[in-house]
Chain A
């Protein structure tokens, strides 16, 4: 197959430049992720008892507040797409065989989609006071307490 070089300044409608939008996405999501992840680390690892205090009751308390639900949802979507697109760039740089590159790229986006669906469902169908929880593991605001 011969390579077709489009004449410059042709009035033909151009194909969408996905690489350009990918480039822009990395920067836009990057700025938001700095805020979201620094805030995430500050509230979870710095405030209070840090890592020591993280358990089911801690997550239950946070996700009873729509503010943290939206925060974590944004982080989930933005970070997974940012990370997957970064990995795709690395695959493009180092995977020389076309079949290897295509397979890895497919696996990356399939993993990304699966985790986004899983995480989104978890955030919105989460019950901070589940019936299967032993009482000492539940947040203090649960009626079983």
Chain B
């Protein structure tokens, strides 16, 4: 039986998983951005065309998917600040592990504040 690869400072730890998440959220945001520039450009075509397409953003399915988008943006933005601090702050590398958990907590707090309000709008409650 091959033995498990020995752990390193990076592999399988916060450093690796934050990198993986940064990539996945980055790709997801990129493809949304392409679609979002195109749908917004419809304002130049006609008010009806824009309103028809933007109506899909208010459907329950896409409305819930928007929570995923916001979560991805929150993680990518806050982890991006963590990456900058690791690069430029003298103690950044020392606190990278702690900063990852701060990123997760802050992202979760903002998400927890946003999600109910957004779902209220999507499902026409209140």
A-side residues, CB < 8 A to B, are 27, 30-31, 33-34, 37-38, 41, 45-46, 49-52, 54-57, 59-60, 63, 76, 79-80, 83-84, 86-87, 90, 111, 115, 118-119, 121-122, 125-126, 130, 132-134, 137-138
Contacts and interface: CB of A to CB of B under 8 A. Distances in A.
Interface of B: 23, 26-27, 29-30, 33-34, 37-38, 40-41, 43-44, 46-48, 50-51, 54, 57-58, 63, 66, 70, 73, 77, 80-81, 83-84, 87-88, 114, 117-118, 121-122, 124
A59 B88 CA distance: 38
Nearest to A55: B51
A114 to B, nearest CB: 10
A63 B117 CA distance: 25
Contacts of B37: 76, 80, 115, 118-119
Given A37-B73, A37-B77, A115-B34, 4 more contacts: A30-B77, A31-B81, A51-B63, A87-B27
Contacts of A30: 77, 80-81, 84
